[in-house]
A and B are shown apart, each in its own frame.
Chain A
């Protein structure tokens, strides 16, 4: 990924910022330019909740380039408290202990790939809620 592309997407990756259609209220993550539901281009920033539950997951054993060192890792669909669903990695938990329906929360984690000049990249991952 180019440094500028990484920089452009920083709010969605660091703070789970999506957007919401001002006309029909539909929420999007990642943010969109046009609302596919009503066609409106009037969209406003929307901060997603950081908690939710794991709807479905899979353990990845074969990774794309740059991610091989992380295997096995968990990719899941997280349904946040407002009903929005995001695709994310599940972290801080042994793959055998991951359960469907598990309560999870967002955290910032390092990505295995680095940008030019050794710039380190971060993104959201979800971890089990610590009770």
Chain B
């Protein structure tokens, strides 16, 4: 399908806020903070930007603010710059990176700013639940009284039965996230948790417990993409984008036949590996979309890091730790770094950059050369897989 010559694309700068409850900062304020940090770190300024992608999932619902890209571009003083919002739930960030990557690869734009931003802390928890459920088809989903927690619970129970594992095994995913977040400067929850505290936390939708689920949070993360040649000229540390793939599946998990199939993720992964010319064993670390503990476990399997049903074995044997065979969620993942939903994919891209430029500090994966990020909306009804590679 692609026959025109493509340019190599680099991530040349990153900027981000801590994931937290930023009472004092608006969506615009968070966005500008992350974006200006990113641009200045590569010696760029706003006038160098010729395209902006804004990744956000819930501003339309929680802040009653639509038309976000134009609102933000204007706040940046860039009234005549290309600016588009990407709204695809938890896949928004990864998809925004995908669009920017294509623009630069195809020579449409040279310096593209991608910023994911979300502000969830100022809403009531039932509003947040409703906003999260609004990514499902409302004409069907709304009147069932189902929540995303309840769909995750149905997946969770099916998973435990099929593979004969216990909740105590699956919950190790949250322990891993918190362990990695405990040394992460930008994490919302930089501390370790125990299995006991998880199992004593309240049940949201049986068996899903509070400490296995993401919490509402605020944050913004930005990456700047440009042609690899330009990144070399700028002389700033940079990494290459080796692949970016997006695949969709039915929203309605009940209609999928097997709720554990996650076909979109399987396809996105295999296409991304092919595009990058790598296999799962070449991946040195991965940031997976674990909005629920069980979804992180399933993601490791579908990405090919282990066989089906063996995700909990990877956790039990310590293979997902920073010094393990396949380090997962190296800065704490959705559970502990935090999950400002629309911004998650951009935080993941930032983290891949930090690992591959050797700037990951206490969370550094030794000799990391290839990293993968995974974004998802509605249990991989949209799955995005991006692969990044160290360079120069």
Residues of A in contact with B (beta carbons under 8 Å apart)? 1, 5, 8-9, 12-13, 28, 30, 36, 56-65, 67-68, 70, 73, 75-77, 85-89, 111-112, 121, 123
Distance (whole angstroms) from the CB of A31 to the closest CB of chain B? 10
Question: Are A63 and B254 CB-contacts (below 8 A) given A58-B205, A75-B144, A75-B205?
Answer: no
List the B side residues contacting A28 at CB < 8 Å.
255
List the A side residues contacting B150 at CB < 8 Å.
58, 60, 75
- The residue that A75 contacts in the complex, of B145, B203, B259, with Cβ under 8 A, is B145
Distance (whole angstroms) from the CB of B84 to the closest CB of chain A? 27
List the B side residues contacting A64 at CB < 8 Å.
126, 129-130, 133, 145, 147
List the B side residues contacting A57 at CB < 8 Å.
154
Q: Are A87 and B146 in contact (CB under 8 A)?
A: yes
Interface digits, B129-159 against A, CB 8 Å rule (1 contact, 0 not)? 1100100011111111111011001100110
Q: Nearest CB to that of A32 among chain B residues?
A: B255
List the B side residues contacting A85 at CB < 8 Å.
254-255
Q: Nearest CB to that of B156 among chain A residues?
A: A58
Q: Nearest CB to that of A88 among chain B residues?
A: B144
Residues of B in contact with A (beta carbons under 8 Å apart)? 125-127, 129-130, 133, 137-147, 149-150, 153-154, 157-158, 202-208, 250, 252, 254-255, 259
The 4 closest A-B pairs by CB, nearest first: A58-B153, A30-B140, A75-B150, A59-B206
List the A side residues contacting B137 at CB < 8 Å.
30
Q: Are B202 and A61 in contact (CB under 8 A)?
A: yes
Question: Are A73 and B158 CB-contacts (below 8 A) given A59-B206, A62-B205, A85-B255?
Answer: no
The CA-CA distance from A96 to B390 in the complex, in Å, is 54
Distance (whole angstroms) from the CB of A13 to the closest CB of chain B? 6
List the B side residues contacting A70 at CB < 8 Å.
145
Given contacts A1-B143, A59-B206, A64-B126, 14 further A-B contacts (CB under 8 A): A56-B154, A56-B158, A58-B153, A58-B208, A60-B145, A64-B147, A70-B145, A75-B153, A77-B154, A77-B254, A85-B255, A89-B144, A121-B143, A123-B143
The CA-CA distance from A28 to B252 in the complex, in Å, is 11
List the A side residues contacting B255 at CB < 8 Å.
28, 85
List the B side residues contacting A73 at CB < 8 Å.
145
Q: Are B129 and A65 in contact (CB under 8 A)?
A: yes
Distance (whole angstroms) from the CB of B81 to the closest CB of chain A? 36
Q: Are B126 and A63 in contact (CB under 8 A)?
A: yes
Q: Are A5 and B149 in contact (CB under 8 A)?
A: no
Please classify the interface of chain B as helix (H, G, I), strand (E, B), loop, or mixed, using the class held by over half of its residues: helix
Question: Are A60 and B149 CB-contacts (below 8 A) given A65-B126, A87-B254?
Answer: yes
List the B side residues contacting A86 at CB < 8 Å.
254
List the A side residues contacting B125 at CB < 8 Å.
62
- The residue that A60 contacts in the complex, of B127, B139, B205, with Cβ under 8 A, is B205
The CA-CA distance from A64 to B158 in the complex, in Å, is 23
- The residue that A1 contacts in the complex, of B129, B142, B252, B254, with Cβ under 8 A, is B142
Enumerate 6 A-B pairs (CB-CB under 8 Å) in ascending A order.
A57-B154, A60-B149, A73-B145, A75-B205, A76-B154, A89-B144
List the A side residues contacting B250 at CB < 8 Å.
36
Q: Nearest CB to that of A57 among chain B residues?
A: B154
Q: Are A62 and B143 in contact (CB under 8 A)?
A: no
Q: Nearest CB to that of A70 among chain B residues?
A: B145
The CA-CA distance from A8 to B252 in the complex, in Å, is 20
The CA-CA distance from A88 to B150 in the complex, in Å, is 11
The CA-CA distance from A88 to B143 in the complex, in Å, is 9
Q: Are A63 and B202 in contact (CB under 8 A)?
A: no
The CA-CA distance from A4 to B144 in the complex, in Å, is 18
The CA-CA distance from A64 to B250 in the complex, in Å, is 22
Q: Are B127 and A63 in contact (CB under 8 A)?
A: no
List the A side residues contacting B140 at CB < 8 Å.
12, 30, 87
Q: Are B205 and A9 in contact (CB under 8 A)?
A: no
- The residue that A68 contacts in the complex, of B126, B202, B203, with Cβ under 8 A, is B126
Q: Are B202 and A65 in contact (CB under 8 A)?
A: no
Q: Nearest CB to that of B141 among chain A residues?
A: A87
List the A side residues contacting B157 at CB < 8 Å.
56, 58
Most-contacted residue by chain A among B143, B146, B158 (CB, 10 A): B143
The CA-CA distance from A121 to B142 in the complex, in Å, is 12
The CA-CA distance from A64 to B145 in the complex, in Å, is 7
List the A side residues contacting B144 at CB < 8 Å.
75, 87-89, 123
List the B side residues contacting A1 at CB < 8 Å.
138, 142-143
The CA-CA distance from A36 to B143 in the complex, in Å, is 24
List the A side residues contacting B206 at CB < 8 Å.
58-59, 61
The CA-CA distance from A70 to B143 in the complex, in Å, is 13
The CA-CA distance from A58 to B203 in the complex, in Å, is 11
Q: Are A30 and B139 in contact (CB under 8 A)?
A: yes
Q: Are A67 and B139 in contact (CB under 8 A)?
A: no
The CA-CA distance from A110 to B362 in the complex, in Å, is 55
Q: Are A87 and B143 in contact (CB under 8 A)?
A: no
